[in-house]
Amino acid sequence: MSLVTMVFQYLVAIPVGIYTAVKQYSPGDYFFSGLSFIGMATPNFLLAIILMFLSYTWFGDPLLGLFSNEYVNAPWSMDKVIDLAKHLVIPVIVIGLASTADLIRVMRGQMLDELNKPNVVTARAKGVSETKILLKYPTRAALNPIVSTFGWSLSSVFTGSTITAIVLNLPIQGPVMYNALLGQDMYLAGSWLLFMALLTVLGTLISDILLAWLDPKIRTEFRGN
């Protein structure tokens, strides 16, 4: 669920951020910007309750947990995989929406800063196609702050929203940590904090590698040192 949530965040945030910057002040820009502000302002647990209510109203199933009752202890099969995918829709949207909305705003702001840089203007003057300019210069530069946040995003997504997980009855890390603290299980709580620290270090390492790949200036500075 955590991995699917991360993929959802970046696959939605980056294209939408690029679109809203390129089409600044268009109806699409206003729509996605308004949606982003709503996503950042809406509490996750409230959105979870709304989506569960709509799911129960439209489909007769609130989609609690990761599996339906008949598949909880059943062996893996294609039907169980389909049931899991169906139950992942609400958690992925709820847990990933706030971060996605935030990433959209960051991507839009960075793209607006990069679109009128001298290298972009020069490329336009030379007759380079707009799509090639967009992908080669502003998008690549605008991805730097998105990539640099991967370190803490990795640990936060794996943790998930504890309240949201409790509302959706999800057997993920947040409720486990919460129950460990309530039960004063210092071994489980300490192990979980160590795991979060390792994820943060791993995410930071991945961020540094991706930044060096994206930005030639970083590679030059690294070689110089």
Q: What is the pLDDT of residues 13-29, one digit of tens each?
A: 999 999 999 998 899 99
- For 117, the token pair is 């840089």
Handedness of CA 86, 87, 92, 97 (dihedral sign): positive
State the pLDDT at residue 27: 92
State the pLDDT at residue 133: 86
How large a percentage of the chain has pLDDT more than 70? Answer: 92
The string of pLDDT tens digits covering residues 79-121 is: 888 888 888 888 888 888 878 888 898 899 889 998 888 888 8
The answer to whether the beta carbons of residues 192 and 176 sit under 8 Å apart is yes
Q: How far apart are CA 62 and CA 94, in angstroms?
A: 14
What pTM does this model have?
Answer: 0.81
Mean pLDDT (the chain) is 84
pLDDT score of 3 more than 60: yes
The string of pLDDT tens digits covering residues 152-168 is: 776 666 666 777 888 88
The string of pLDDT tens digits covering residues 126-160 is: 888 888 888 888 888 888 888 887 767 766 666 66
Q: What is the mean pLDDT of residues 178-194?
A: 87
**85: closest CA among 67, 61, 111, 100?**
67
Number of domains forming the structure of the chain: 1
Q: What is the mean pLDDT of residues 198-212?
A: 84
pLDDT score of 1 more than 80: no
State the pLDDT at residue 155: 67
CATH number reported for the structural domain that contains residue 120 in this entry: 1.10.3720
Domain residue limits at 106: 2-224
